[in-house]
Amino acid sequence: MTAEPDPTVHPLDHLALRGERGAPALVLRNHTLTHEALNARVGLLANWLQSRVPERGARVATWLPKSELSCLMPLAAVRASLVHVPVNPLLKRGQVAHILADSGAALLVSNKARLDSLEPGDASCPLIEEPAAWAEAEALGGQLPPSDAAPDSLAAILYTSGSTGRPKGVMLSQANLWLGAVSVAHYLRLSPADRVLAVLPLAFDYGQNQLLSTWYAGGSVVPLDYLTPRDVVKAVERHGITTIAAVPPLWLQLAELDWPEAARSLRRLTNSGGALTPSLVRALRTRFPEADLYPMYGLTEAFRSTYLDPALVDSHPTSIGRAIPFAEVSVVNDLGDEAEVEEEGELVHAGPLVAQGYWQDAERTAERFRPAPPFSKLGGMAVWSGDRVRRDAEGLLHFVGRRDAMIKTSGNRVSPQEVEEAAVATGLVAEAVALGLPDPHLGHAIHLVARASGDVEAARAGLLPALTRALPNFMVPRQVHWRQVMPVSPNGKLDRVALAAELAQDVQA
């Protein structure tokens, strides 16, 4: 794909129509769907969804591993005039209950183990297991035809953690997802011959785009829920995989493994969810010399902003590159002007990939989604990322730091407040501050500073087990630092800056 990408927007479910007849589209554990079979199954699932949830624009949630239904739901929901709410399968009942309530989900499809973990009051909508959903769909029969939905109609709500508070829902339109698929398929040069191993959760924009961009290009997706990195190696060998998308902690593990000769099928490695270090870039280039490496930077609120051309990776290993197709990325200095070369500023993303805001949260939408800067060529609404970057003399962007307190660990964005609330909710802790400290494997590791509410020894013994039960594994603190007194800042709030400096010294020592 060397020509300019086509900006024409079709309804999202038309992606199921793009592949060649007889070519594989989705390679599941026990069967494979061709592109025409994919379209038929999307139509069958959509027809069932419409019978179950007839209200246009209602939200339907999935809380599943990478099964057939979770892969097809992004297309089937919009074909049924519904809005898909994918829930990260790593989340536990507390986070899931919040997402169901906040989105007003009209239906949740999951599996037995996950549904059994919910408690009374966690869900006010009907619940159904995936096998029962397919049984009902096949008994009902019939297929909905491809839709004619408007490009600006709501297609999905993806929940992402903010720097404070509980996860918030990012509203994505048909155009957001369609043009995201076109953009990525174009700059990655995906083709019908490509076989993409989908290892990332489909509830992430990056994970979901593995499906959409591959199907746009007419290629095939192999979903994988892996237990160990070795499972990824086996899948590459078994399926002749050409493309893997991953986050830095997984790349670090994969680079350390011995790979068989069959790994030469790999032609493309893509990274987001955290920066690659120069040492990791060297390791990946050594391990996979015949594969192109694509470092990328993205925001759920604008899907993705930049990528680095593989030809520049060796000479600029720390750069996040230039804007992807359909994105305009500006660097705005503290005076509101366009930053000069090498001047630090805020990354601002404008263009048709910008989401529609946060679901039912006008206040936080107004904070992050604001008019593009006056010098923007595209104008309109933009995402003001809060991330600090600089642009070098060659026009390449370099990440400097995050303005907010968000912790990015193992490719996941974690709200400190959510971890703190979970700690206090155990009854063992009176006060808590969650911080992210640099970690060579995770990007940042979560550390919790806490003051016990009662018996200190009981709190020390019980807090981490309690948090392990309440939170997904990636949100459980690596270490708890106990304090008899918590420092406060002049405004009376817990002094996060002082604690971060203190912990950084402790960890280095």
Q: What is the DSSP letter of 14?
A: G
466 lies in a domain? Answer: yes
| Euclidean distance between CA atoms 435 and 408, whole angstroms | 10
Q: What is the DSSP string of 473-498?
A: GGGS-SEEEE-SS--B-TTSSB-HHH
| Euclidean distance between CA atoms 243 and 250, whole angstroms | 15
Weakly modelled stretches of the chain, pLDDT under 50: 163-164
Beta-ladder partners of 408: 413
What is the CA 319 to chain-centroid distance, rounded? Answer: 21
In the chain, the number of structural domains is: 1
Beta-ladder partners of 331: 347
90 lies in a domain? Answer: no
CA torsion sign, 201 to 170 to 405 to 491? negative
pLDDT at 497: 82
472 lies in a domain? Answer: yes
40 lies in a domain? Answer: no
CA torsion sign, 90 to 94 to 99 to 105? positive
473 lies in a domain? Answer: yes
Q: What is the DSSP string of 109-178?
A: EE-HHHHHH--TTS--S-EEEHHHHHHHHHHH---PPPP---TTSEEEEEEE--SSSS-EEEEEEHHHHH
What is the CA 202 to chain-centroid distance, rounded? Answer: 8
| Euclidean distance between CA atoms 287 and 279, whole angstroms | 12
Q: Which of 86, 91, 59 has its CA nearest to residue 72?
A: 86
Q: What is the DSSP string of 306-363?
A: EE--GGGTTT-TTEEEEEPTT-EEEEE-TTSSBPPTT--EEEEEESTT----BTT-HH
| Euclidean distance between CA atoms 174 and 156, whole angstroms | 8
Give the residue numbers spanning the domain of 457: 407-508
Q: Which of 252, 222, 227 has its CA nearest to residue 237?
A: 222
pLDDT at 491: 55
CATH code: domain of residue 485: 3.30.300.30
pLDDT at 163: 46
- Helix, strand, coil in percent for the chain, rounding step 5: 35, 25, 40
250 lies in a domain? Answer: no
Angle CA(498)–CA(499)–CA(504) in degrees, nearest 5? 100
pLDDT at 431: 86
Beta-ladder partners of 81: none
120 lies in a domain? Answer: no
| Euclidean distance between CA atoms 201 and 5, whole angstroms | 27
Q: 3-state DSSP call for residue 439?
A: strand
pLDDT at 114: 97
CB 109 within 8 A of CB 45: no
Q: What is the pLDDT of residues 285-330, one digit of tens each?
A: 999 999 999 999 988 999 899 999 999 999 998 899 999 999 999 9
Q: 3-state DSSP call for residue 423?
A: helix
CB-hemisphere CA count at 13 Å for 88? Answer: 26
CB 86 within 8 A of CB 203: yes
Please give the backbone phi and psi of residue 369, each rounded to the nearest 5 degrees, phi first: -100, 110
452 lies in a domain? Answer: yes
